[in-house]
């Protein structure tokens, strides 16, 4: 299967390389290139010093598949959530997240914690707003050298807006949609002096959609201050407060192997009980200093405090013959404090005719978490679940939450050192190679087990120390400045405590971390300074552990997963008045080493559509008027690893109209799900499945000053 998949994927990649070859044939002369290189030095990640690559490297020279979504694209397509972005990102898809958090799957790896902000961890479970961003970076493939633990399939890094010295400007945006959601946001930049500036971003959103009883409010504010401490030193201070209060909606149950149809609006929960709240305080200080043209330094300290609550009743079964529904539920609280320090040195030098870009850095962090969960108790069933007659709306029997079934605190400390060298060998070859050392130390107090005593062998005091070395190597061939063909290998790991530090037990305490290995071949072509084409084929292996071979007790079978695939992306301006963002991915994701009754019984990984296709075009007919048209397609996917429930494939079409009233005022109308398609967007398990919003129009305006 892998050979067939790889052969098919390589045919696509060969086509992309052939296109690049044609570009070489049509390339300008050396004299022409010399003139152009004064103007165009490569497509850099915007705000490069804050990007997750940690070095100012042109995208064409990064041996890894990635997508950059700018704030302009976010505004034009009226994105409000990470999930909106992933609908137009190849190789990545959004999960339901139980209705209270961002949950993503990248290259078959599901995570709730592989999120970063300006290159630092932002791993508590919540819905991340987009109001203060310069861009969003979706980096695919495991790569612990840059990000540390986790990131098995990739990570999402949000890059925030920063003050601009010597500038005074601002903007205000307001919008409303046909469901009654209201969104307002403001961005103001103020010059404090010739060397200092202050910027503040803020937003408020009143939430509503097609689902019965859904609603909520969220707001955030992010003041930042930047000052130049001399010609070579810059200080940035940032604080963000996020407040989110909304109904928890876990969708509809399944019936006969597919999502329950005909009840897209029905709320399978308790309208007065299903709720989530978040208060997040994130403070950051960063200093950048250039010792010389050949050596720079940056250091960042971030403290974040998260207070999270969610409580919900949710469906776990539906019987159309008996006319009953089964509910479960719980209350869950998390309080976490993150203190993270990161230091990077970037040096440029030559040895023996070889040019080097050397990254040397370190990271230290303390993360303290308290989490507890109280299970439901239904008096009528004397159990944590209850089956009762279905009605719309539901009439839910009396429920209480008397018992803690989880009450844990964890103290995590981690320390990392990493080094990476990008070596230029002449004009046509580059090598990117490095190593990262991580020490991950966790101590857990399980208060339920402590109260239970140690007679069962578990005194409730658990802990583990892991030390891992993660390599990365990439080989890049550049037939010309704007084209690269690369191959790369990278590795990451995830401690057995999981990405939220909640799964450490007597069994997992003795197991080494999970390993992720990413093998990739790709090509990148900057067709011009505004348009790029990328393609890659990859294999990502997850080593989850070992089990005894039932046919040979002397052997161990590897238990894990493998994702093989192909990704293609075209992004930028085809013409001055025509912008395009197009992506396609093919993913073949399966378990490895699962044995049932003495035979291999590997299943398809959940929430991984085999095919994903997206296309967005904006065309401006005049300086005042433009239109946008988008289409997104997802193949069928399984709701869970059981493979018992399948979400059907779907196509969604979006469109937009843009009108510039003046140089400072513009109006836009975004129409989502233009043809009112009925489909299911995501799931959390076989009986928590999200229904798509029907046709929806969003009218907004922006004024600049």
Ordered mean pLDDT values, 10 residues apiece, the chain (705 residues): 40 38 38 32 39 79 93 95 95 95 96 94 96 95 92 95 96 97 98 97 98 97 97 97 98 97 97 96 97 96 98 97 97 97 96 95 97 96 97 96 93 97 95 97 94 89 95 96 96 92 81 93 94 97 68 60 97 95 98 87 95 98 97 97 97 98 97 97 97 97 96
**Which residues fall within 8 angstroms of residue 320, CB to CB, at 6 or more apart?**
255
Measured between alpha carbons, how far is residue 605 from residues 259, 312, 589 in Å? 18, 26, 6
Tokens of 208: 């509503």
Answer for the pair 582, 615: CB distance below 8 angstroms, yes or no: yes
Residue 547's pLDDT is: 52
pLDDT, position 598: 85
| Bridge partner list, 526 | 532
3-state secondary structure of 59: helix
Q: Which two tokens stand for residue 117?
A: 């902000």
Residue 599 CB neighbour total at 10 angstroms:
9
For residue 350, give Cα distances in angstroms to 50, 310, 346, 347, 676: 25, 55, 14, 10, 60
Q: Quick one: pLDDT at residue 518?
A: 97
Q: How far is CA 334 from the centre of its chain?
A: 21
Q: What value does the CA radius of gyration of the chain take, rounded to a whole number of Å?
A: 26
pLDDT value of position 57: 86
Nearest-CA neighbor of 18 among 535, 685, 612? 535
Burial of 446 (0-12, 13-18, 19+ CB in 10 A): buried
* Sign of CA pseudo-dihedral 259, 263, 265, 267: negative
CA 167 to CA 189: how far, in whole Å?
7
Q: Write b or e for each residue in 468-494: b if 16 or more Cβ atoms lie within 10 A of its Cβ, otherwise e.
A: bebebbbbbebbbbbbbbbebbbbbbb
Q: Verify cis geometry, omega within 30 degrees of 0, for the bond prior to 325.
A: no
Q: Is-contact 226 163, C-beta < 8 A?
A: yes
Residue 28 per-residue DSSP state: P
CA dihedral 495, 496, 502, 507 (to 10 degrees): -160
Distance of alpha carbon 238 from alpha carbon 338, whole angstroms: 16
Positive or negative CA dihedral for 676, 677, 682, 687? positive
pTM of the complete model? 0.91
Domain over 2-704 is classified CATH 2.40.170.20: yes
pLDDT on residue 504:
82
> Tokens standing for 23?
């570009």
The predicted pLDDT at position 545 comes to: 59
Question: What local confidence, expressed as pLDDT, does residue 50 receive?
Answer: 35
Residue with tokens 């969604």: 652
If DSSP states are collapsed to H, E and C, what string results for 386-407? EEEECCCCCCCCCEEEEEEEEE
Q: What's residue 507's pLDDT?
A: 77
Cross-strand partners of 94: 104
Neighbours of 612 (CB within 10 A): 25
As a whole number of angstroms, the distance between CA 106 and CA 531 comes to 24
Q: CA-CA distance, 570 to 524, in Å (whole number)?
A: 10
**Best CA proximity match to 633, nearest among 617, 647, 618, 653:** 653
Q: Which residue has the tokens 């050396």?
A: 30
């Amino acid at each position: 299967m892998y050979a067939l998949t790889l052969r098919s994927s390589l045919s696509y990649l060969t086509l992309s390389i052939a296109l690049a070859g044609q570009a070489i044939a049509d390339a300008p002369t050396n004299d022409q290139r010399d003139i152009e290189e004064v103007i165009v030095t490569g497509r850099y990640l915007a705000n490069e010093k804050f990007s997750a690559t940690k070095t100012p490297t042109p995208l064409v020279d990064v041996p890894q598949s990635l997508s950059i979504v700018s704030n302009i694209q976010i505004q034009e397509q009226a994105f409000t959530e990470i999930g909106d972005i992933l609908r137009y990102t190849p190789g990545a898809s959004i999960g339901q997240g139980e209705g209270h958090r961002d949950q993503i799957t990248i290259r078959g790896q599901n995570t709730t914690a592989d999120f970063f902000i300006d290159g630092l961890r932002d791993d508590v479970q919540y819905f991340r707003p987009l109001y203060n961003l310069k861009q969003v970076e979706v980096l695919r493939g495991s790569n612990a050298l840059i990000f540390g633990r986790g990131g098995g399939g990739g990570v999402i890094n949000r890059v925030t807006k920063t003050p601009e010295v010597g500038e005074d400007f601002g903007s205000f945006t307001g919008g409303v949609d046909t469901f009654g959601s209201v969104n307002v946001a403001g961005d103001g930049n103020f010059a404090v002096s010739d060397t200092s500036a202050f910027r503040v971003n803020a937003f408020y959103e009143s939430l509503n959609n097609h689902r019965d009883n859904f609603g909520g409010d969220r707001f955030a504010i992010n003041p930042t201050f930047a000052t130049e401490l001399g010609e070579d030193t810059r200080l940035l201070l940032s604080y963000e407060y996020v407040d989110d209060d909304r109904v928890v909606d876990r969708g509809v149950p399944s019936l006969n192997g597919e999502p329950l149809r005909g009840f897209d609006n029905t709320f399978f929960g308790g309208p007065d009980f299903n709720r989530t709240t978040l208060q997040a305080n994130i403070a950051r200080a960063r200093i950048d200093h250039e010792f010389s043209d050949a050596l720079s330094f940056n250091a960042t300290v971030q403290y974040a405090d998260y207070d999270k609550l969610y409580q919900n009743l949710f469906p776990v079964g539906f019987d159309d013959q008996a006319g009953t529904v089964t509910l479960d539920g719980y209350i869950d609280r998390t309080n976490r404090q993150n203190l993270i320090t990161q230091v990077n040195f970037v040096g440029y030098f030559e040895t023996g005719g070889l040019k080097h870009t050397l990254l040397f850095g370190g990271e230290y962090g303390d993360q303290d978490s308290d989490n507890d969960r109280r299970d439901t108790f239904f008096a009528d069933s004397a159990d944590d679940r209850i089956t009762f007659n279905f009605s719309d709306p539901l009439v839910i029997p009396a429920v209480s939450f008397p018992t803690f079934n989880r009450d844990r605190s964890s103290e995590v400390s981690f320390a990392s050192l990493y080094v990476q060298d990008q070596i230029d060998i002449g004009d046509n070859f580059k090598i990117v190679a490095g190593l990262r050392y991580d020490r991950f130390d966790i101590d857990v107090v399980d208060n339920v087990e402590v109260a239970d005593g140690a007679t069962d062998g578990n005194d409730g005091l658990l802990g583990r120390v892991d030390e891992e070395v993660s390599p990365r190597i990439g080989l890049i061939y550049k037939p010309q400045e704007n084209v690269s063909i690369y191959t790369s290998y990278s590795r990451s790991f995830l401690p057995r405590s999981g990405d939220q530090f909640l799964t450490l037990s007597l069994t997992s305490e003795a197991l080494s971390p999970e390993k992720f290995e990413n093998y990739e071949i790709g090509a990148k072509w900057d067709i011009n300074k505004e348009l790029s084409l990328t393609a890659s084929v990859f294999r990502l292996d997850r080593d989850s552990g070992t089990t005894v071979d039932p046919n040979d007790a002397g052997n161990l079978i590897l238990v894990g997963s493998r994702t093989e695939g192909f990704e293609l992306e075209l992004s930028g301006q085809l013409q001055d008045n025509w912008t395009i963002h197009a992506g396609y991915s093919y993913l073949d994701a399966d378990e490895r080493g699962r044995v049932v009754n003495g035979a291999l019984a590997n299943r398809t990984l959940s929430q991984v559509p085999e095919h994903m296709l997206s296309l967005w075009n904006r065309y401006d007919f005049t300086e005042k008027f433009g239109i946008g048209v988008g289409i997104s397609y997802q193949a069928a996917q399984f709701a869970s690893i059981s493979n018992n429930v399948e979400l059907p494939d779907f196509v969604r079409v979006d469109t937009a109209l843009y009108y510039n009233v003046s140089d400072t005022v513009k109006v836009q109308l975004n129409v989502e799900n233009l043809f009112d398609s009925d489909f299911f967007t995501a799931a959390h398990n076989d009986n928590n499945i999200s229904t798509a919003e029907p046709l929806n129009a969003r009218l907004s305006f922006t004024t600049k000053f």
